[in-house]
Chains A and B, each alone.
Chain A
Amino acid sequence: MSRSIQYTSSPLLASRTPVWRSKLVVGAIALAFLGLAARAAYIQVFANAFFQRQGEVRFARTLELPANRGRILDRNGLILASSVPSPSIWAIPEDVDADKAQLQRLAKILEIPVADLAKKLDDEDKTFVWLKRQVDDSVARQITALNIKGIYQRKEYKRQYPEGESAVHVVGFTNVEDKGQEGVELTFNKELSGRNGSRRVIKDRMGRVVEDVGDQIPPMEGQDLQLSIDSKVQFFAYQKLRDAVLEHKAKAGSVVVLDVLTGEVLALVNYPSYSPSKRTNLSGAQLRNRALTDTFEPGSTMKPFVIALALEKGLVKPDTVIQTAPGRLTIGGSTITDAHPHGPLTVSEIIQKSSNVGTVKMAMQTQPHEMWEMFSQVGFGQKPQVPFPGVVSGRLRAYKTWRPIEQATMSYGYGLSASLFQLARAYSVFARDGELAPVTLLKSTQPAPGLRVMEVRHAHAVLNMLHMATEPGGTAPKAQTMGYSVGGKTGTAHKQEGKGYADKKYRGFFVGVAPIDNPRIVVAVMIDEPSNGKYFGGDVAAPVFSETVQQTLRMMGVQPDMAVRPQIVAAVEESF
């Protein structure tokens, strides 16, 4: 009996259980507890990290905090480019089980043929197809309302360009991934595009965010960019240029408007252009920002610089008389002619009448290196410092390689090349009392210091000659505009074709400043291949200059400096 445990005092109920059995049970239970403890220790201490991670994977999510691309604004803060949400529609073909009517409705909303849609959804091998990228918000909402299984939306952003074709050459555009492809969108892509942030959260079973865990990385929003462009000036210049190009049946044209004091580019337009929202079938002719990327021989618009040089070197005075008869001059076996032969002309009249012979006679008295210096100081042969893709430097050969006839032709703008933008900037010398204005595409408020190229009195003298060119008897009376005095130089250059010059292909230019007494703007106009009878710069480009100056100065709030006969019929009584 002693070998058994006594559960009761009654011998009748005494069990015959052996002692080892109960001990075994106790031991087994103890072992089980030990196992539990070990497991607990394993989970909570040794493999803690693993289990934490596994748990987190099941309820923690990393949310992306999207950054917006910065806006592009004009000088008055008006939007030139901005990103708006524009969802893309995609599908998992296998999962789509839409009936015919639904598919038809979907195709109608997406504005694609039903057959195309069916083909896209037929390919069961694919697990992902775009149905349409970047649709409008309203379209996306309609698709949500259809509620077809297997059709999803991805949040994307689309660039909107309210100004459309008039500003597209400056602003440029982005691709479907919101990366800059052209223009300012490309050059300032880094500043404009932000960096996405992220945020780690715990979501409950309903998908609601219940807790933030860890650090948040806030999104870096893209910077807004304010350009020096004035969208109104830009538009008017574009409108006038387009009208002129169409009227003269020309191939293309450009206009550049610069603010003389700050060196800001107020407008930079080209025609033909394109609409940034419809970019299919674009040609290089439409895409190119000609004013910056195309160079040409500037023709007579170079003459004022030669005259300025002659004045600087003390070779002539504005009223020095030079014989230009009989309108021909032979240098090194080649003959230079004037369009219309003139007799003796003063230096001022040489600019006014645009005499090649007179200009060459002055140029040949200067040294090649002096002429080269003058030309390069005003920016010819040098890349303009504007942040823009494809800016060209033009061509100005080293003076050591010049032959006399080349120096002669260069004085009236053949044998060297420049872009319209360079030409416009070079003329700022006359507008700023002999200082060359720096140029910028970004808004700046204070006057920028310039680079002195010539003496104040010589700049003034040339400015007066430019003014004379727009007066009766000059080459460009059509450059005159109501209320404002203007001055400028015409240019009409034969176009180069292959090795020689094309017979009847021209470029007409006009580069000028206004108002004369206190210049505020430089406007350069180029019309490429006018082929409707007229081709002289004074006929095709000067009117564009005139209208652009009129609108620009009015919008800048510059008071007219010339008397105008008022045409106000009835003065309105002020009653407020």
Chain B
Amino acid sequence: MIRLNLVLMLAVVASALYLVGVQFDSRRLTTEFDRARTEARRLATERERLQVEKRAQATPARVERLARDKLQMRQATPAITTYVTYSAAAEEGVK
């Protein structure tokens, strides 16, 4: 009888220690998860910010100005455009 009780008590102590360990792990992981999530949010907003920035750098107004001034381009007109008609045969040719 005493021996059984002893075994049971050891089991209780062991499981209690295990519980403490698991609890600790869970908290540590939660913290890590939370940090990762915060980082993900930060990166998402950063991405959004950069997208807006990229867009701001590529607005028609800026593209037009740079094309005209820096690259000496001019606006396309039908007079300087060659129109090609899309057809299945043409696609075969490309292949």
Interfacial residues, chain A to chain B (CB-CB below 8 A): 68, 78-79, 82-85, 137, 160, 162-164, 166, 201, 204, 208-212, 231-232, 235-236, 239, 482-484, 550-551, 554, 559-560, 564-568, 571
Q: Given contacts A204-B27, A568-B82, could you give 8 more A-B pairs where the C-beta distance is less than 8 Å? A: A68-B48, A82-B52, A160-B56, A166-B60, A209-B30, A211-B27, A212-B30, A235-B61
Assess the B51–A79 pair: CB atoms within 8 A. Answer: yes
Assess the A137–B49 pair: CB atoms within 8 A. Answer: yes
Closest to A547 in B: B75
Assess the A566–B79 pair: CB atoms within 8 A. Answer: yes
A560 in complex: contacting residue of B30, B34, B75, B78, CB < 8 Å = B78
Q: How far apart are the CA atoms of A510 and B78 in the complex, in Å?
A: 23
Assess the B49–A85 pair: CB atoms within 8 A. Answer: yes
| Chain A min CB distance to B33 (Å) | 9
Interfacial residues, chain B to chain A (CB-CB below 8 A): 26-27, 30-31, 34-35, 45, 48-49, 51-52, 55-56, 59-61, 64, 75-80, 82-83
- What are 18 inter-chain pairs, A to B, with CB distance below 8 A? A83-B48, A84-B49, A162-B55, A166-B61, A204-B31, A208-B31, A208-B35, A210-B31, A211-B26, A235-B59, A239-B61, A483-B77, A554-B76, A554-B78, A560-B78, A566-B80, A568-B82, A571-B82
Closest to A206 in B: B31
A210 in complex: contacting residue of B27, B55, B64, B80, CB < 8 Å = B27
Assess the B34–A208 pair: CB atoms within 8 A. Answer: yes
Assess the A565–B60 pair: CB atoms within 8 A. Answer: no
| Known contacts A162-B55, A211-B27, A82 near B48 by CB under 8 Å | yes
| Known contacts A212-B30, A560-B78, A232 near B83 by CB under 8 Å | no
Assess the B48–A565 pair: CB atoms within 8 A. Answer: no
| Known contacts A482-B78, A483-B78, A231 near B60 by CB under 8 Å | yes
| Chain B min CB distance to A548 (Å) | 13
- Write out the residue numbers on chain A whose beta carbons fall within 8 Å of the beta carbon of B45: 68, 84-85
| Chain A min CB distance to B71 (Å) | 17
Q: Quick one: which of B59, B78, B82 has the most chain A CB within 10 A?
A: B78
A78 in complex: contacting residue of B34, B55, B61, CB < 8 Å = B55
Q: How far apart are the CA atoms of A85 and B11 in the complex, in Å?
A: 54
Q: How far apart are the CA atoms of A162 and B50 in the complex, in Å?
A: 12
Q: How far apart are the CA atoms of A564 and B34 in the complex, in Å?
A: 65
Q: How far apart are the CA atoms of A231 and B52 in the complex, in Å?
A: 15
- Write out the residue numbers on chain A whose beta carbons fall within 8 Å of the beta carbon of B34: 201, 208-209
| Chain A min CB distance to B24 (Å) | 10
Q: How far apart are the CA atoms of A212 and B59 in the complex, in Å?
A: 45
| Chain B min CB distance to A239 (Å) | 8
| Chain A min CB distance to B9 (Å) | 23
| Chain B min CB distance to A174 (Å) | 14
- Write out the residue numbers on chain B whose beta carbons fall within 8 Å of the beta carbon of A85: 45, 49
- Write out the residue numbers on chain B whose beta carbons fall within 8 Å of the beta carbon of A483: 77-79
- Write out the residue numbers on chain B whose beta carbons fall within 8 Å of the beta carbon of A208: 31, 34-35
- Write out the residue numbers on chain A whose beta carbons fall within 8 Å of the beta carbon of B27: 204, 210-211
Q: How far apart are the CA atoms of A163 and B63 in the complex, in Å?
A: 12
A567 in complex: contacting residue of B26, B49, B59, B79, CB < 8 Å = B79
- Write out the residue numbers on chain B whose beta carbons fall within 8 Å of the beta carbon of A565: 79
| Chain A min CB distance to B91 (Å) | 15
Closest to A82 in B: B52
Assess the B60–A210 pair: CB atoms within 8 A. Answer: no
Closest to A212 in B: B30
Q: Quick one: which of A209, A211, A571 has the most chain B CB within 10 A?
A: A209
Closest to B76 in A: A554
- Write out the residue numbers on chain B whose beta carbons fall within 8 Å of the beta carbon of A560: 78, 83
| Chain B min CB distance to A271 (Å) | 14
A160 in complex: contacting residue of B26, B52, B80, CB < 8 Å = B52
Closest to A231 in B: B60
| Chain A min CB distance to B21 (Å) | 15
Q: How far apart are the CA atoms of A554 and B52 in the complex, in Å?
A: 27
| Chain A min CB distance to B25 (Å) | 11
9 closest A-B pairs by CB: A483-B78, A235-B60, A210-B27, A162-B56, A209-B34, A162-B55, A84-B49, A567-B79, A560-B78
Closest to B79 in A: A567
- Write out the residue numbers on chain A whose beta carbons fall within 8 Å of the beta carbon of B80: 566-568
| Chain A min CB distance to B47 (Å) | 10
Assess the A79–B55 pair: CB atoms within 8 A. Answer: yes
Assess the B79–A82 pair: CB atoms within 8 A. Answer: no
- Write out the residue numbers on chain B whose beta carbons fall within 8 Å of the beta carbon of A231: 59-60
Q: How far apart are the CA atoms of A260 and B59 in the complex, in Å?
A: 26
| Chain A min CB distance to B81 (Å) | 8
Assess the A209–B76 pair: CB atoms within 8 A. Answer: no
| Chain B min CB distance to A389 (Å) | 25
Q: How far apart are the CA atoms of A554 and B78 in the complex, in Å?
A: 8
| Chain A min CB distance to B77 (Å) | 5
Assess the B78–A236 pair: CB atoms within 8 A. Answer: no
- Write out the residue numbers on chain B whose beta carbons fall within 8 Å of the beta carbon of A239: 61, 64
Q: How far apart are the CA atoms of A137 and B50 in the complex, in Å?
A: 12
A84 in complex: contacting residue of B52, B59, B77, CB < 8 Å = B52
